[in-house]
Structures are given as structure tokens and as C-alpha cells.
Structure 1
Amino acid sequence: MAEEVRAPLAGTVQSVLVEAGAAVEADDELAVLASGGAEHLIYAPCAGTVLAVRVAEKAAVAAGDVLLLID
């Protein structure tokens, strides 16, 4: 079953550092989220393959929104 990578807080997606099909290791950087004037790195919770990227750069997200799927 795919692992959902969710936004830990509301903000704006500054950049997405991976694309669908990319192999990732646990703790690899996946995206950068800007919130409250600070940048927050989003890390892979597990090793696997990125199945889907569910957000675009500059998109606003709420806390808990799914950003990526990893299998």
C-alpha cells in the first residue's frame, strides 16, 4: 500500500524536488514548503518509488493535504 506524504502545516509549495517514478530513500528531501516566512523541508518517510506528485509548485496547501505517494 502506498505511503502518503502529507503537509505538516499550511503553506505554499516552493518547490517539488522529485517526480513520479523517482526512487527515494528514507529521509530524502522531497519538497520545500514555505509557511510563516520560513522554509520547511519535506522528507521521505520510507524508501521506495514516487508513485504520484499531487501538488504543483506555488500551490497553497492545508495541513494534512497529500503531497506525494510513495510505494
Structure 2
Amino acid sequence: MATFDFPDTLLQLERTAWEEIQNGRLTVDTAQAVQAAVTAFAIDGGHDRYAVEMGLKMSVRHPAG
């Protein structure tokens, strides 16, 4: 899997979404904000959006020890 240098703002958005998911409270606004930020990051860097999204989820949900 590709590795990315995610900005802190994108990491924080995903952390917020993950916390909301774990608490059963994910909002549409949070989900849309993450998707918009992922899409913008992918476009700006010329990356595949799916690869960016999966890399971000792995970074937040399964950080290297």
C-alpha cells in the first residue's frame, strides 16, 4: 500500500470521524468533510482517491506501534 504524508488537518478530520463511528455518532457533516478533504488531497497530489482514503484510514485506525 502506498504511504502518504498527510497534513495534520486531514489526520484530525479522520480521527474525529473514527471517534464518531466508534461511538455510533458519525454525522453526515463529518463524513462529507473527510471525503472532500480526501478528494482534494488526492487531486492535488495526483493520487488515486481510493488509495488515499485507505492509507488515511490505516494511519488513523492502525498506527504503527
Q: TM-score, normalised by structure 1?
A: 0.26
More strand by share: 1
The structure carrying a bigger helix percent of its residues is 2
Q: TM-score, normalised by structure 2?
A: 0.28
